[in-house]
Structures are given as C-alpha cells and as structure tokens.
Amino acid sequence: MTTRTPDQQHLLEQLQHVAEGLGRTLAPFTEVVLHDLLDPEHAVLAIHNNLSGRAVGDPATELGLARIADPAFPQVLANYRNNFPDGRPAKSTSIGIKDRNQQYIAALCMNVDLNLFRSLQAMLAQFGNVDPAAAVTESLAPAAGADAIRAHIEQFAARRSATPRALKADERRALMRELSEAGLLDMRRSMETIAAHLGVSRATVYNDAK
C-alpha cells in the first residue's frame, strides 16, 4: 500500500476532478490521463476519452519514471510528438505536479489524436473548394488501399463527433455499408485494416458487415 500524506492525497483527489473536466471539454479529440507518480507500478489513476487502450492501474510511462527519478525534470512539456500503440500520430502535453516539498507526485497528460484532425482538415478543404473541377478530382481520386479505408473511417467518425474506436455497434454497421458502397471492402486485407483501426476483432468486423 502506497503511503501518502493527507496533503498529497487531497491534491490527487482534486486533480481527478481537473482530469474529468478536461476530458469532458476536450472529448472526443483528446485523451486525458492522470498519473499517480507515488505508485509507479499502478500509476494510471484516471483516463478519459481513452485513445491509447490503457486502463486504470497500468504502470507509469518512461516520462513518468524520469520525473520520479529527477525532481529537476521539466514541469511542463508541451506539444511534443508522440504515437498511440497502433501507430496513430499524436501530439502530447505532460504537466508534472509537485507537492509542497517539491516532490513529483502526479502528472496530468493530454494526448491529441492528430489523425482525426487531419481528416477534419481534409473535409474542410474540400468543403471550401469552389473549383468544381478540383472537387470532382478530389472525390474521384481517393488515396489507395489501406489509407483510403482509414481516411473513410476517420471521416465517418468525425461526422458523429467521435473517434473510430468509440463507434457503437449500430454505427459500425452503418460504416460497413458506406465502405461497401464505396467499393472499399473489395480491397486486399480490407477487413484486417478496418478491425485494426476500429480496435475490434476481425470477427466483429465480419459480423458488422453482414
């Protein structure tokens, strides 16, 4: 059992409210994670808008361990390049929280899914394009293969203010109908690509496609 002072415990409890508020405000684009650095083996104290597949009780990251080892470690690291476990690019900010003795006790981290914003950028660029020829060219020449499938999934989720991994069963079935109508299910390894991007099994994807 990790020993904490009353002040440390109070601070961690208040930070959980901060993490929840940020998570609600930044949903669904940003994962918000609160790390308890006093218990590095079970550091994840709260996670909102889960984009990385982690769970409460998971261990600290390399960054968290670096803070634990060095009280002089920078307190704020903003907008650094990162990646989710499945390879999606992310932009991250990590804020170290110290107690009155200048000991790191927590870290509040935000991880932005850049894939989603890139899809939104593409959609806005298409919407704002007033050249009919260019608009036709864009719609008739999508990216090939797996990239086209992932782009379609990102756009589908964005229209519902969600992330691909947050789609519910009925939304996934609607997505599969769109992919089928677009001819994207005929591509090689399409089901495998879809399952990986949605974070579900291939059996689930085949069932949704029925």
Q: Which residue matches tokens 């990216």?
A: 143
For the whole model, what pTM was predicted? Answer: 0.61
Q: Do 160 and 95 lie in a common domain?
A: no
Length in residues, the chain: 210
Q: Give residue 97's domain range.
A: 6-114
What CATH number did the domain enclosing 68 receive?
A: 3.30.450.20
- The answer as to whether 128 is a domain residue is no
| Domain identity same for 15 and 81 | yes
Other beta carbons within 10 angstroms of residue 64's beta carbon come to: 24
DSSP state of 128: T
Residue 136 confidence (pLDDT) above 60: no
Average of pLDDT values for 23-27? 94
Angle at 93 between CA 22 and CA 7, to 5 degrees: 65
Contact 126, 133 (CB under 8 A): no
SS3 content of the chain, % helix, strand, coil (to 5): 50, 20, 30
- Within a domain: 159: yes
**Quick check: 39 pLDDT over 50?**
yes
Q: Let me know if residue 136 belongs to a domain.
A: no
In the structure, what pLDDT confidence band is assigned to residue 121 with cuts at 50, 70 and 90? Answer: confident
25 lies in the same domain as 100: yes
pLDDT tens track for 52-103: 999 999 999 999 999 999 999 999 999 999 999 888 899 999 999 999 999 9
89 and 156 in one domain?
no
Whether residues 157 and 202 share a domain: the answer is yes
Residue 170 lies in a domain: yes
Q: Are residues 36 and 80 in the same domain?
A: yes
Same domain flag for 151 and 192: yes
Q: 92 and 12 in one domain?
A: yes
Q: How many domains does the chain have?
A: 2
Residues 31 and 94 in one domain: yes
User: Does any domain span residue 137?
Assistant: no
